[in-house]
Structure 1
Amino acid sequence: MTFETDLRPPRRHYEYVGRGAAIYRDSFATIRREADLSSVPAEAERLAVRMIHGSGQVDLTDDLLIDPRLVPRARAALEAGAPILCDATMVVRGVTRSRLPVDNDVLCLLEDPRVPDLADRWGTTRSAAAVSLWEPRLEGAVVAIGNAPTALFHLLEMLVDGAPRPAAIVGCPVGFIGAAESKQALADLATDHGIDIPFVTVRGRRGGSAMTSSALNAIAQEEE
């Protein structure tokens, strides 16, 4: 007899929902019951719900900044085959591949062998250096930054210097040093530099890979 056929679940000592589909259904119902979605653009309501789901914070809408064009523009880009360029492997891992419309590439270039030397020479993080390697695929891509504020700053500096423009930016780096400032710079990009790219971000220190990949999953497919 094999080990697998010997496997048995433990006895239930707690009352909880065990089926994945039911957990998702009840979670989204709870979010819609508890969160104030009145300030969210209609096209982005499912996006906000999934970002709340990824963070566990129903007050997230207080700090969300969502361009009304973000979801339709980013979804159209994905349907046309655009890649998703990520600053962290955790963001890549959080993307549900079955939701992608055309088996889009989901890339993180942190492990590229050129990155350590670039970061050292430029005096920046590896996450930021890896963003420069996006340039050949940046035009029309969907960008997702959920970990490193330096990556978002670096991307914005590239754009100001004339780099190809992505279709949309999910910019939600997390942390205490530079996170709030990088996201404010993203929000001010059109005003300060005339570079008008649809984006979603969250004010302040909150953010992270789970929140960012949740946003990508909502963009990739309308079904909640």
Structure 2
Amino acid sequence: MFMGASTKQGYDIAHKSREIVRSLIGDKIDHLTSDEKAIVERIVHSTADPEYAELTIMSEDFVSKSIKSLKKGEDILTDINMVRAGINNYSGEVNCFISHPDVIKNSKDKQITRAAAAMQYAAENEFQGIVVIGNAPTALYEVIDLFNKDLMNIKSVIGVPVGFVGAADSKEDLNNSEIPHLITKGPKGGTPVAVATINALINFINKKSNKYV
């Protein structure tokens, strides 16, 4: 699947969109690898916002560690169901525990957000794979803490929560961590960015089987 396209008509539209995106941001992503460029292009395509070419930051090992995890079929964990719903064409498990009864109970008992409690629940249930956070800074803070305490087997984190409270700071903490990661600087981010990033990574491992790539 190429930038979300799975039909000839969709491919033609996506191809034209990519040409437009490249004309807008090409000079801003020249320093990136081809895979990193493809991720940023997909983010800009999905958001119609060229500013993401300058806001998106990836650790050097983000792409390689993420692809390795996906090839193994390891799990993907999201902060909210909207992010989970946007992830497609992956053969492994894609989970979101924010509505799980145990998470709801623990959230109330510990007086923490359900998003943070969901990360704790995943860690307690032997999660291993990629974490995708598009909305909840508290989930990102929790993931970083769990990783630092060696309580969560995280291969990489897409940390792009959106908002004016906690989003920028939590992403900066991730950027300063040892976790392979992708972030967007400042308050911008959200579900479209998170979904675009993980789907771009999934596309890297699936593209040999898609005739429109």
- TM-score (normalizing by structure 1): 0.82
Structure 2 residues without counterparts, runs of 5 or longer: 1-8, 208-212
Q: Is 1:138–2:127 an aligned residue pair?
A: yes
Q: 1:55 aligns with which of 35, 47, 54?
A: 47
Contact 1:180 1:203 in 2 (8 A): yes
Contact 2:147 2:154 in 1 (8 A): no
Deviates more, 1:165-174 or 1:64-73: 64-73
Q: Distance in 2 between matches of 1:219 and 1:188?
A: 22
**Residue deviations 1:95-122, cap 9 Å, x none?**
122xx2xx11111011110112211222
Q: Is 1:33–2:23 an aligned residue pair?
A: yes
Contact 2:126 2:153 in 1 (8 A): no
Q: 1:202 aligns with which of 181, 184, 203?
A: 184
Three-state SS of the structure 2 residue aligned to 1:168 is: strand
Q: Percent identity?
A: 26
Larger Rg: 1 or 2? 1
Contact 2:42 2:196 in 1 (8 A): yes
State how 1:100-179 maps to structure 2 within 5 Å: 100=90, 103-135=91-123, 136-139=125-128, 141-179=129-167
Structure 1 residues without counterparts, runs of 5 or longer: 1-18, 190-195
Contact 1:179 1:205 in 2 (8 A): yes
**Residue deviations 1:15-42, cap 9 Å, x none?**
xxxx422221111111111112124344
Q: Are the structure 2 counterparts of residues 137 and 52 from structure 1 closer, same or farther at C-alpha, using a change threshold of 3 Å? A: farther
Q: Distance in 2 between matches of 1:55 and 1:178?
A: 22
Q: Distance in 2 between matches of 1:79 and 1:178?
A: 33
Contact 2:155 2:179 in 1 (8 A): yes
Q: Distance in 2 between matches of 1:39 and 1:205?
A: 24
Q: 2:62 aligns with which of 70, 75, 92?
A: 70
Opposite residue 85 of structure 1, the aligned amino acid is L
Contact 1:43 1:71 in 2 (8 A): yes
Query: How many residues matched?
Result: 196
Over the aligned positions, Cα root-mean-square deviation in angstroms equals 1.7
Runs of 4+ more than 6 Å apart: none
